[in-house]
Structure 1
Amino acid sequence: MTGRYSLFQMWEPFRRSLIANHRFYVEQSRKRLLSQFSDIEAEANQAADKWLEDNDHRFNPDFHLPGDFEEQAFDAGLEFYELLKGMEARTRLSVVAGMYHEWDKQLHQWMVDEMRGWCSGTKFEKAVWKATLTNFAELVEPLGWDIRSKPYYIHLDACRLVVNVYKHGNGDSLTQLKQKYPEYLLDSVCGRTAPLFFDGLSHKDLSVSDDQFQAFSDAIESFWRDVPADLWDHDQAVMPAWLSKALGLNGNAPRKKQGSSSP
């Protein structure tokens, strides 16, 4: 009986390391960055009090009404609150972007490392580093890992679009986000995401809640946990077009990896 060959392998200690490093990033980001915005209402009140303290000497009963300065202090506190809310939103998006980019780089590096056993040349590596999550799915699903059917896939796809909109602003990713995952766009005026308001939404309305951030984090961890220990070749395992092109082939089955054969 002819043995089959493992085209992709996930070493368990490596899997545990990936998950541990991911958890560390999320936990420390919450502790060292996001926790600083835990009580911005109190900070806004302090800013209002500080404004009164700094401007109390300017009060002139001949020109000012008793409530004038209190109203201006309130406005100063409100402005401070809105600025902090904006900073919190950008900080959370930055944390999400860092988390996603690290996962994306780790995935592509793992793919390249595993594929060197049955692919050669620099063209395939360049093609892999350019590969999207959809491209990756096209490669591994014929091998038995149907990632697009898994719950984590939707969150990873949404995270990809969120990060692209955060990085590049308006563009194709914003259009896709509106169509596929409008829950990450929140109108700052009316607070709605209904399609009726979509035309006026832009990258400025991008919003990720703490629960959504956690969902992205859980999706990455679930992805790493779901990677099969081995993905075996078989006669129907035809290469996707993007990889065949990089290897100069015409849709042939993947080359067999040398070593690690099944009985």
Structure 2
Amino acid sequence: MSKPQVLMQMWKPYREFLIQQHCFYVNEANTRLMSQFDNINADADKAAEAWLERRGELFDPDRDDEGAIYEEAESVAIEFYRQLDEMREQTRLSVVAGMFHAWEKNLKKWIVDELRRWGLGSRAIGAVWGADFPKIMELLVSLGWPIQGQSYLAVLNQCRCVINIFKHGDGKSLAELKRDFPKYLIDPVNPKFDLPATEIEWLNHSHLQVTEAQAQEFSEAIIEFWKNVPENLYEQDGGEPPSWLMKAVDQDRKASNG
């Protein structure tokens, strides 16, 4: 019996490089970006003090109410904190987006580099680069990797939804998030994860929020994904390639024969 041919390989040093690259990004993002928001309470107090100092230069004891001025300074602190908190949430989402897009691009590059050795043409290569998350997972299954049902894949799918909403606003991903993962939609008036369906329906992309723990969970899912890529995927292990890829392969064949 002939030995089955290896269709795709995950070279151990390359696997380690991908994981190291991801960990570097996450660690540096936390050190250089997220750490700047560690003391926003103190930053808000400093903003209020600076405002009070500027206001004090114009203080007129005959006309000004000192109590009212201190109340206004407190409002300055509250608004400064609110804006910093919003910036922190947007920065965390940006970090998660960068992390996810890097993983997705590295995954497609690995697939393309491996399949290119089998003579895939430009249309097939373009189809892989243009495929969305479900299509890429479908392709991996057809190549012999039974990835369905893995917990890290479910987390990556949640991350995909979150990033699509962060990037595009309301749309299909928001509807999916409301239906399946409402924990990422936080109503500031009623910040509970168990909102009734009628209340969830009113939420939109502006209510998207990812906690530090959730961002860490996304990161760990990416690491688990790379750790679990099979070292070898054999030609006989896979099923029928997805129709979207075979259509592109057929177009390449016709172009080369035409």
| TM-score of the aligned structures, taking structure 1 as reference length | 0.90
Partners of 2:156 and 2:238 in 1: how far apart?
Answer: 28
Partner residue in 1 for 2:201 = 199
Partner residue in 2 for 1:260 = none
Count the aligned residue pairs: 249
Partner residue in 2 for 1:258 = none
Q: Deviations over 1:7-53 (max 9, x none)?
A: 11000000000000000000000000000000100111111111111
Is the contact made by 2:10 and 2:232 (CA closer than 8 Å) also made in structure 1? Answer: yes
Structure 2 unpaired stretches of 5+: 252-258
Q: Deviations over 1:82-134 (max 9, x none)?
A: 01001101111111111111111100011101111224211101110112222
Partners of 2:127 and 2:143 in 1: how far apart?
Answer: 19
Q: Deviations over 1:186-223 (max 9, x none)?
A: 11222134223122211111101000000000000100
Partners of 1:6 and 1:239 in 2: how far apart?
Answer: 16
Once the 2 structures are TM-superposed, how far is the Cα of residue 78 of structure 1 from its aligned partner?
Answer: 0.5
| Secondary structure class of the residue paired with 1:92 | helix
Partner residue in 2 for 1:221 = 223
| TM-score of the aligned structures, taking structure 2 as reference length | 0.92
Partner residue in 1 for 2:16 = 16
Partners of 2:231 and 2:245 in 1: how far apart?
Answer: 22
Is the contact made by 1:37 and 1:84 (CA closer than 8 Å) also made in structure 2? Answer: yes
Structure 1 unpaired stretches of 5+: 250-263
| Secondary structure class of the residue paired with 2:7 | strand
Partner residue in 2 for 1:58 = 58
Partners of 1:131 and 1:143 in 2: how far apart?
Answer: 15
Pairing of 1:91-106 with structure 2 (within 5 A): 91-106=91-106
The percentage of counterpart residues that share the same residue type is 43
Partners of 1:235 and 1:93 in 2: how far apart?
Answer: 38
| Secondary structure class of the residue paired with 1:7 | strand
Q: Deviations over 1:142-186 (max 9, x none)?
A: 444222211101111111111111111111111111112111111
Cα-Cα RMSD = 1.5
Once the 2 structures are TM-superposed, how far is the Cα of residue 137 of structure 1 from its aligned partner?
Answer: 2.3
Moved more, 103-112 or 228-237: 228-237
Partner residue in 2 for 1:125 = 125
Partner residue in 1 for 2:75 = 75
> Which letter does structure 2 place at the counterpart of 1:237?
G
Q: Deviations over 1:44-83 (max 9, x none)?
A: 1111111111101333333333311110000001110001
